[in-house]
Homo-oligomer: A and B are copies of this chain.
Amino acid sequence: MSTKSSPRAPQRSRAASPSRRERVSDHRAVGPPAAPTFKPIHTRRTFEEICERIREQLALGVLKPGDKLPAERELAQQLGVSRNVLREALRSLEMAGVLRLQKGVKGGAFIQQGDTRRMNEVMRDMLSLGTISVRELSEARVHVLDLVVQLACANARRADLDALEANIERTELATKEGRLLDRVECSREFYKLLAASTGNKVIAMIVDSVTEIHMRFVYAKVASSGVAMARLAEKRRQFLAALSERNVDLASRLLRSHLESVQRMLEQDPGAMSLHVALADVQPGMRR
């Protein structure tokens, strides 16, 4: 950690207390606002400072995944803050996927490998807050997947194709056994594998984030109506064949046409397609 800049500032609030009165009397002594210097309005809060300090250490490479931060009590003392406010910072970093907190002796705050699922949460929040629309999300997904097909045709390795093949077999099995919701889960995984086959984790992350939401809608639709995409595995096989032959145009056409038919299925009964229904529930396997 080496948090060298911790000048042991206990009782910071109390120490800063007189400054307010000073500022006020200064103001009156000078009269009307003589020099409108406009100091930074936003008083930085302690926890923000802490988060930034830790992120800084991360960016600098001083902290790496696997590293452990000092114990809460000790770190709080090092930073000269209360344990509670330190915990607020640690909580935020944990929610951000940067840390993992583990109990017990030998426990502590461990730097995590980055969790790409965090972007999914951003998308969900943006949708919940109405910043983005379902339409925009679907549209973006279609376009991004088109790009993915190009990249996958260019970069997919044998292992990627095999994984897709295995996924299709699971899809067939689920279809045969009538496990419709499992089949939706297979679909989610299919796109995850397809995205991974581009060999670019940034692209993969983006695709996952838009697909996760989309699949919630599909899940809700299938769960409520019992209908499901016909000839799914068959279509997947055709697509995979095109991908294996590096036939971009064909693969692209097949996927696009499939996406369109899924879209039609979803829009068939718009009344049931509540944003809230799809987002509210945390489906098993959909998260964590």
Contacts and interface: CB of A to CB of B under 8 A. Distances in A.
Contact of A276 (B61, B84, B202): B61
A97 B129 CA distance: 10
Interface stretch (A19-27, A70-78, A132-140, A260-268): A132-140
Interface in A88-105: 88-89, 91-92, 94-98
B58 A129 contact: yes
Interface residues of A, number: 63
Interface stretch (A113-121, A238-246, A247-255): A113-121
A234 interface: no
Contact of A147 (B125, B144, B205, B275): B144
Copy number in the complex reads 2
Contact of A132 (B137, B144, B205): B205
Chain A at the B interface: SS class: helix
A9 interface: no
Contacts of A139: 200, 202
Interface stretch (A28-36, A47-55, A171-179, A224-232): A47-55
B129 A65 contact: yes
Interface of A: 47, 51-52, 55-56, 58-61, 64-65, 84, 87-89, 91-92, 94-98, 111-116, 118-119, 121-126, 128-133, 136-137, 139-140, 143-144, 146-147, 151, 200-203, 205-206, 210, 275-276, 279-280, 282
